[in-house]
């Protein structure tokens, strides 16, 4: 079993410039270890759906790694997401599940069939490109760099202890959080240097940056969408 | 604005082709779709359409999560499913589309819709009251109506920074 906080510290060390989306227990603790909070999005108020949000981001930003920090209880509320992610097959998606066999934030009730679910096996059977399970921090720290170097979608189940919940606090108001995250994302793309000639996806990157700028200008002007009668 | 995508549809073309034309006008990039018999033909047209990416989901609740991520990343998704899927995805509509102020367009097959008599299918009976309860604006696209309604609804969603629904009403009591 890996200490919950240590598991997140190890993930943070391997994060790079990834966007990180979090929910529930991991989301409450992640701010303690995150080195790039601007590109963190925490949302717990549509139970189980953070992996779906991560999938959408991964499809929209194919040249940036997207990390999902999910919980076992959360994943069970949206289990079909494994198949949907496998079908869309985003190479840049890294899906962690921090497993403590409980619905911690609702009072530590056990998840159904606790202790007997092979989550990595479910992901592998759904069609993820890679699926892994870790029960000790040493192995995770040793292998995570190699795992992140592989094309995704990749699933990593971490058997963790109870989360440190003293940091649990009311979420930042949802719209404020979203605005902050979106602004950081736009800033990240504005700062992005033109990739070297011949770099994979370079034209996509520039097109995306231009598109995001256009959307930002349109929304900041308070105007309508780009279509209409 | 200058329409993007294929040339303006000709009279006599299928409603699905005309809907896809509206998608292009709006700059839609992804169509997030949950299986439904009435929109099967639309799914097939979307899948074959250059410039649109079909994202099939296992259950409707996933759709607004994926739409949230796509929109944060600068894409323009539309969600397509049946009215029963609206009920299933209630927590995602509340916690994502409404709480985050997501200007997402939802095309919802209006199962059991009847033009001249009261609906008897509960999937039709409850859909409009539920949308009203959530404060989601909606428009009924009935047979013979101009699918240009879709582009107007897209603009409405942007203006209000809120989801807007198009209820796709088909033949009497279908599905």
CATH fold of the domain at A4-159:
Rossmann fold (3.40.50)
The residue assigned the tokens 């919802």 is B108
Q: Are A25 and A4 in contact (CB under 8 A)?
A: yes
Using 50, 70 and 90 to split pLDDT, how confident is the model at A172? low
User: Residue ranges of the domains in chain A?
Assistant: 4-159, 174-220
State residue A105's pLDDT score. Answer: 77
- Interface probe for A, chosen from B1, B68, B160, B162 (most Cβ of A below 10 Å), is B68
Residues 67-126 on A with a CB inside 8 Å of B are: 78, 80-81, 83-84, 87-88
Phi/psi of residue A214, each to 5°? -65, -45
Chains A & B: contacts with CB separation below 8 Å? 145
Q: Which residues of A touch B64 (CB under 8 A)?
A: 46, 49, 52
Instruction: Identify which has the larger pLDDT, B65 or A224.
Output: B65
Residue A33 has pLDDT above 70, yes or no: yes
Q: Could you tell me which CATH class the domain B15-168 is placed in?
A: alpha beta
Whether pLDDT at A213 is above 70: no
B155 three-state secondary structure: helix
Q: Chain B residues contacting A, CB < 8 Å?
A: 1, 25-27, 30, 53, 55-59, 61-75, 77, 91-92, 94-96, 99-101, 103, 148, 151-152, 154-155, 157-159
- Which one, of A110, A119, A44, A135, lies nearest residue A79 by Cα? A119
Strands B53-56 and A40-42: unpaired
Q: Name the A residues in 45-64 with CB < 8 Å from any B CB.
A: 45-61
pLDDT at A209: 54
pLDDT of residue B90: 95
Q: By mean pLDDT, which of A25-39, B65-79, B125-139 is the weakest? A: A25-39
Q: Are the beta carbons of B74 and A43 separated by less than 8 Å? A: no
How many CA atoms, within 13 angstroms, populate the side-chain half-sphere of residue A16? 12
Residue-wise pLDDT for B14-39, tens only, equals 999 999 999 999 999 999 999 999 99
Distance CA B111, CA B115 (A): 12
pLDDT (tens digit per residue) in A87-125: 999 999 999 999 999 988 778 889 999 999 999 999 999
Report the alpha-carbon distance of residue A39 to residue A75 in Å, rounded: 22
The CB-side HSE value for A125 (13 A sphere, CA atoms) comes to: 7
Q: Are A21 and A6 in contact (CB under 8 A)?
A: no
- The total of other beta-carbon atoms located within 10 Å of residue B72's CB is 23
Closest CA to A70 of A153, A136, A139: A153
Four-residue CA torsion sign, A207, A212, A218, A224 = positive
């Amino acid at each position: 079993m890996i200490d919950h906080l240590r598991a997140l510290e190890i993930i943070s060390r391997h994060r790079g410039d990834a966007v990180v989306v979090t929910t529930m227990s991991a989301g409450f603790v992640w701010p303690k270890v995150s080195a790039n909070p601007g590109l963190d999005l925490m949302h717990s108020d549509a139970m189980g759906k953070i992996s779906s949000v991560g999938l959408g981001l991964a499809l929209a930003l194919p040249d940036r790694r997207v990390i999902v920090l999910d919980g076992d209880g959360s994943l069970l509320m949206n289990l079909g997401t494994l198949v949907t992610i496998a079908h869309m097959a985003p190479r840049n998606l890294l899906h962690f599940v921090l497993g403590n066999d409980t619905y911690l934030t609702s009072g530590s009730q056990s998840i159904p069939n606790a202790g007997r679910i092979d989550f990595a096996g479910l992901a592998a059977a759904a069609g993820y490109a890679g699926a892994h399970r870790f029960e000790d921090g040493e192995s995770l720290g040793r292998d995570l760099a190699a795992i992140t170097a592989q094309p995704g979608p990749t699933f990593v189940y971490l058997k963790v202890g109870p989360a440190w919940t003293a940091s649990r606090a009311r979420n930042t108001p949802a719209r404020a959080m979203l605005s902050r995250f979106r602004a950081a994302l736009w800033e990240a793309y504005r700062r992005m240097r033109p990739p070297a000639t011949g770099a994979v996806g370079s034209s996509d990157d520039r097109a995306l940056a231009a598109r995001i700028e256009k959307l930002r200008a349109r929304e900041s002007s308070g105007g309508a969408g780009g279509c209409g009668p | 604005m200058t329409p993007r995508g294929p040339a303006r549809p000709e009279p006599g073309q299928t409603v699905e082709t005309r809907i896809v034309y509206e998608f292009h006008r709006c700059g839609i990039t992804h169509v997030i779709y949950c299986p439904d018999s009435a929109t099967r033909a639309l799914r097939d047209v979307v899948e074959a359409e250059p410039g649109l990416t079909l994202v099939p989901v296992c259950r409707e609740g996933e759709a607004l999560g994926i739409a949230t991520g796509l929109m944060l990343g600068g894409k323009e998704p539309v969600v397509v499913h049946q009215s029963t899927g609206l009920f299933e995805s209630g927590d995602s509509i509340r916690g994502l589309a409404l709480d985050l102020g997501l200007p997402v367009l939802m095309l919802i097959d209006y199962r059991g819709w009847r033009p001249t008599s009261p609906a008897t299918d509960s999937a039709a009976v409850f859909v409009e009251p539920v949308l009203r309860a959530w404060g989601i604006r909606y428009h009924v696209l009935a047979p013979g109506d101009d699918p240009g309604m879709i582009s107007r609804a897209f603009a409405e969603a942007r203006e209000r920074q809120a989801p807007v629904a198009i209820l796709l009403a088909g033949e009497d009591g279908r599905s």
